[in-house]
Amino acid sequence: MRSICPTFWRGLARDERGGIAIILALAVVPLVAFSGLAIDTGRGELVRARLSQALDAAALAGGRVFFSAQRDADIRMYFAANFPEGYLEADVSPLEIVEDRLNGRLTVTATATVPTTFMSVLGFRQITVSARTVVERADRGMELVLVMDNTGSMYQGGSRTSRINRMRAAAHELVDILYEGRDTIDGLWVGLVPYTAAVNVGAARTGWLMPNAFQGVQYPPGSGWKGCVEARPGAHELSDTPPGNARFRPFVFPAHPDDNAWPPLDESERTNTTSNEGRGPNLGCGPPVTPPVASRRAVKDAIDRMGPWHRGGTITSEGLAWGWRMLSPRWRGQWGGATPPELPLDYDEPLMRKVVIILTDGKNELYTYHRRGGNDTDYTAYGRVREGRLGTTGKDNARREINRRTARLCDDMKRQGIIIYAITFEVDMDSAGQEGRQLFRNCATSPAHYFDNPVGTDLSVTFRTIANQLGNLRIAE
């Protein structure tokens, strides 16, 4: 065998290239690991950020329907819409949803695992990231008045699915959402104005009536003034002028041998809610108003007392005018009872809102004089149409005039900053019904504040939607 020259061994000993290669080989592993750590960690942060954004959207959606049975399903739906399946290969565990009904808080947490690319060489095959969102109802103070149609057309046989019962059920849902299961919430006051062709302010408020208001009125035994009033004449008709400056005339449906002959007297709630056969001076006079109160129980009791009273017709402007008077600071201290003397507050009171929700199941209308027919009408807050107190003696023209006055009243209230939600509920599709829809659409604060329920099955959804709009949400964490 040929021997190797000694100079070869001496050159090899002096050659440093092999050592550098070994050092580089040893250094590659941590360099790759650190680079992989940065890349994989970055992917994890992207997933965590996307989780957080999706949770914010989902939790806010859930907060808006806090008390709904579909709340958790809505949360998951919004999360899925904002966190695409397979995003950066992340595997998301089921959402954790925790509610705190007492404080109106909703906590939603998500956890995701992300497979690693480079860190796996060090044995780390996945990283875990999580995010949490907490939303809470940050309700501003509010004075809210529900102005609800209580005319005879709401009866529909009195079944569970009748209009009056569906309206009551939907109003209960709204109140329950606003009160979050509590009986009072600081700064929340709710009033109720049931209306027909007149409004019942309560029989105890005789001090609001003009002097000698009952002179010449002969009430039959067992009867007396129930509390309905007529529209004031002139400039005060639809204004928020307080009663000390312009008093009211009591509503007294006159006796007539051909119609509303009394005695005999029949002013029972049953007769007046189920048929046109009531008799007496309070014919067509519905349940009394409930001025703004703090108690959820008091509001719900008032909702249960609503009923469909026949005769007279539908005069939305009267209901809306009394809704305004419950919110106008010019009426401060007028209501008494459970309404504190400092209410209504000023229009520009910080962190307070004034809101009216008005609902009708028909157009403005004066019913034909029940037994006599012809062009004359039942007695209303404007008397009979032949008296000309609406500037006309014709029924159709009277309806259009009431529409005009209602529209003017809506504008006056909105100029004061009052928020108006307007709801039409199974209104006829004829031309008069379409006029009524347009009237309510224009009356609402914006198109988003108007709700048409032509079939009526969505009334509950409408009231829940409004309640969730009124219940402000904020991300707490």
pTM: 0.78
**Does residue 431 share a domain with residue 411?**
yes
Distance CA 44, CA 305 (A): 58
Structure tokens at 348: 């520009």
Q: Is the dihedral of CA 69, 74, 79, 84 positive or negative?
A: positive
Domain count of the chain? 2
Report which of 333, 322, 247, 244 is spatially closest to residue 290, judged by C-alpha positions: 322
pLDDT of residue 1: 42
**Does residue 148 share a domain with residue 57?**
no
pLDDT at 35 over 70: no
**Does residue 215 share a domain with residue 74?**
no
Helix, strand, coil shares of the chain, percent, nearest 5, are 40, 20, 40
Distance CA 59, CA 105 (A): 10
Q: Could you tell me the CATH number of the domain that includes residue 95?
A: 3.30.1300
**Does residue 208 share a domain with residue 108?**
no
**Does residue 145 share a domain with residue 122?**
no
- The answer to the question of residue 325 being in a domain is yes
Q: What is the pLDDT of residues 194-219, one digit of tens each?
A: 999 999 999 999 999 999 999 999 89
Let me know: does 331 contact 416? Beta carbons within 8 Å.
no
**Does residue 178 share a domain with residue 115?**
no
pLDDT of residue 12: 44
pLDDT of residue 9: 45
Structural domain including 187 reads 141-475
Residues whose CB falls within 8 Å of the CB of residue 10, separated by 6 or more in sequence, listed in order: none
Let me know: does 221 contact 215? Beta carbons within 8 Å.
no
Indicate the Cα dihedral angle 326, 145, 423, 174, nearest 10°: 180
**Does residue 207 share a domain with residue 87?**
no
Q: What is the pLDDT of residues 232-289, one digit of tens each?
A: 999 999 999 999 999 999 999 999 887 888 889 999 999 999 998 899 999 999 999 9
Final residue of a structural domain among 104, 137, 170? 137
Let me know: does 422 contact 361? Beta carbons within 8 Å.
no
**Does residue 303 share a domain with residue 334?**
yes
Structure tokens at 295: 């108690």
Residue 307 banded pLDDT, cuts 50, 70, 90: very high
- Scored b (16 or more CB within 10 A) or e, 394-410 reads ebeebbbbbbebbbebb
